[in-house]
Amino acid sequence: MKIYVSNLSFNVQDEELLNLFTPFGAVASAKVITDRETGRSRGFGFVEMEDDNAAQEAMQQLDKTSVDNRSIGVSEARPKSDRSFGNSPFKSDNGGYNKRKW
DNA sequence: GTTGAGCGT
């Protein structure tokens, strides 16, 4: 399950995310999105967990909790389009991500 | 020694 973590402090990074979600279950990957140009944190990240129910658990437990003096937000991540940044400038039909009835 | 909505290359 992919998890979207928002409102992160700018000093929290991948490892911090990992440490946050690890106690709830196996974390496949944890990544804080940093600005590609400057390298600074953008204040949000993604966490991929092996176990789905562990992910749900982590979400409820970590959402709105204070991390580094900031109340973070944890929710299920949107599906990153099957091929959003491939090679074609036309990208996907929706323009980035499936804009269904979320 | 930057800053605060947001869904990653």
CA R_g for chain A: 14
**Which residue intervals of A3-100 are DSSP H helices?**
14-21, 52-62
Written as tens digits, the pLDDT of chain A (102 aa) is 999 999 999 999 999 999 999 999 999 999 999 988 888 899 999 999 999 999 999 999 999 999 998 999 999 998 765 554 455 444 444 444 444 444
Is residue A14 in a domain?
Answer: yes
- Scanning the structure block, which residue is given the tokens 């709105």? A64
Q: Which CA distances in Å does A27 have to A32, A48, A60, A63?
A: 14, 6, 16, 17
Instruction: Tell me the sheet residues that pair with A27.
Output: A49
How many domains is chain A built from? Answer: 1
Residue-wise pLDDT for A61-88, tens only, equals 999 999 998 999 999 998 765 554 455 4
Which residue is closest to B2 in terms of CA–C1' distance? A40
Is residue A65 in a domain?
Answer: yes
Is residue A82 in a domain?
Answer: no
Is residue A89 in a domain?
Answer: no
Is residue A100 in a domain?
Answer: no
Is residue A96 in a domain?
Answer: no
Q: What is the pTM of this model?
A: 0.81
Is residue A81 in a domain?
Answer: no
Domain that holds residue A41: 2-76
CA distance A23 to A86: 35
CB-proximal positions of chain B, under 7 Å = 2-9
Nucleotide nearest the Cα atom of A96 (by C1'): B7
CATH number, position A28: 3.30.70.330
